[in-house]
Amino acid sequence: MSQHNETGKIGEELARSFLLKKGYKILDINWRYNFKEIDIIAQQNNIMVFVEVKTRSTLAFELPQEAVTPKKMKNLVYAADVYLNLKNIEFESRFDIVTVLTKDEPKILEHIEGAFQANDLI
């Protein structure tokens, strides 16, 4: 496995543990549809939370959340809509970003709840 894939896997595992400790119920991880992927699908009370995890070994080039481009956001919204329809889920939805820094001791940098809205992308 390449180094960036290994870094991403570490970040996703850390993000899952973090969300579980905050009381989220993890429903799916790395869920894919038509080449689109949602890193973590969770539930918080009656809210479906679609989480993009961005992991970096250094902050030298950009903040991790800056890598979540409008195109990536649209792909997440599309995949989330398919997921909700396939599972017949009618809960409110939210899109979060969890950023992780793996340099030295891996740690969560930030959990951005409601990082973007589907309506913002129209």
State the residue range of the domain holding 36: 3-121
Q: The tokens 């009381």 sit on which residue?
A: 23
Query: Tokens 């970096």 belong to which residue?
Result: 56
* Number of structural domains in the chain: 1
Provide the 3-class DSSP secondary structure of residue 17: helix
Give the whole-angstrom CA distance, residue 70 versus residue 31: 20
Q: How far apart, in whole angstroms, are the C-alpha atoms of residue 47 and residue 91? A: 6
* pTM for this entry: 0.91
pLDDT tens for the chain, 122 residues long, are 555 567 778 889 999 999 999 999 999 999 999 999 999 999 999 999 999 999 888 777 788 898 899 999 999 999 999 999 999 999 999 999 999 988 777 677 899 999 999 887 75
Which CATH number do you get for residue 101?
A: 3.40.1350.10
Which residues are CB-neighbours of 112 under 8 A, at least 6 positions away?
65, 96, 97, 98, 99
